[in-house]
Amino acid sequence: MTPTVFREDEYRFFFFSREENRMHVHVYCSNGEAKFWLEPEIELSRNHGLSRKQLKKIEEIIEDRQNEIRSRWQNYFGT
The strand pair at 24-29 and 43-48 is best described as: unpaired
**Cα–Cα distance measured from residue 28 to residue 21, given in angstroms and rounded to the nearest whole number:** 20
Long-range contacts of the stretch 19-28 (C-beta < 8 A, 24+): 21/79, 23/70, 23/73, 25/62, 25/69, 25/73, 26/2, 27/58
pLDDT in the model for residue 74: 93
- pLDDT tens across 40-75, in order? 999 999 999 999 999 999 999 999 999 999 999 999
**Helix, strand or coil for residue 46?**
strand
pLDDT confidence of 1, banded at 50, 70, 90?
A: low
Does the pLDDT value for residue 21 go beyond 90?
Answer: no
Would you kindly state where each structural domain of the chain is located, as residue ranges? 4-77
Are 70 and 42 in contact, with CB atoms under 8 Å apart?
A: no
> pTM value?
0.92
